[in-house]
Amino acid sequence: MSDPRVLSVSFAGAHRFSKARALQIRLIAGLGVEADAHAGATVKHRSRVEKDSTQPNLRQVHLMHAELFEELARKGFTVGPGDLGENITTRGLDLLSLPRGALLHMGDGAVIEITGLRNPCSQLDGFQPGLMKATLERAPDGSLIRKAGVMGIVLAGGFVHPGDAIRVQTPRGPQEPLQPV
């Protein structure tokens, strides 16, 4: 895909499924999105906190491709930016094919390192029945394909706005496919 861009930015100060769209978000190195409930050096997702609250937070920023919304619309779902809990909605970038460790440069110097795939959960069905299944499919080899976006950590802070260009930098050496984090 060409000319990848930020379509929308969102955050929520409390743990809730959808996030409110904003004119900008501020990324803070090592923490995530300023004022977002999932920001922090250690895990903030409630299910992960219950297991071990000292784990590093590999899910500081949730990114989702707007092309998924179009795919879901063809299946009868109505989904827009921020609805599925993402902080950054992209257009023109195949997020799911990025390797682990890919760097996304955007905004006024912000850098996000991609850590892995978002694992769709049953909360999707609470938003719209059947949505979780619609974000999953099987590859020809039978493996599960998760389409609900990717997660990352903030390496360099900065402000990110809708319309900002995204520059992808892939890691040197062998490319590791994304796994759920």
Q: Helix (H) and strand (E) counts for the chain?
A: 4, 13
> For residue 47, what pLDDT is reported?
75
- Do 60 and 72 touch, CB atoms closer than 8 A? no
**Dihedral through CA 35, CA 132, CA 89, CA 63, nearest 10?**
60
Q: What is the pTM of this model?
A: 0.96
**Which CATH class for the 5-169 domain?**
mainly beta
What are the boundaries of each domain within the chain?
Answer: 5-169
What pLDDT, in 10s, does the model give residues 110-136? Answer: 999 999 999 888 899 999 999 999 999
pLDDT confidence tier of residue 51, bands split at 50, 70 and 90: confident
Higher pLDDT, 47 or 1: 47
Residue found by looking up tokens 């784990």 in the block: 55
Alpha helices in 20-175 (DSSP H): 46-51, 67-74, 123-127, 131-134
> For residue 126, what pLDDT is reported?
94
pLDDT confidence tier of residue 2, bands split at 50, 70 and 90: low
> Which of 161, 157, 80, 142 has its CA nearest to residue 112?
157
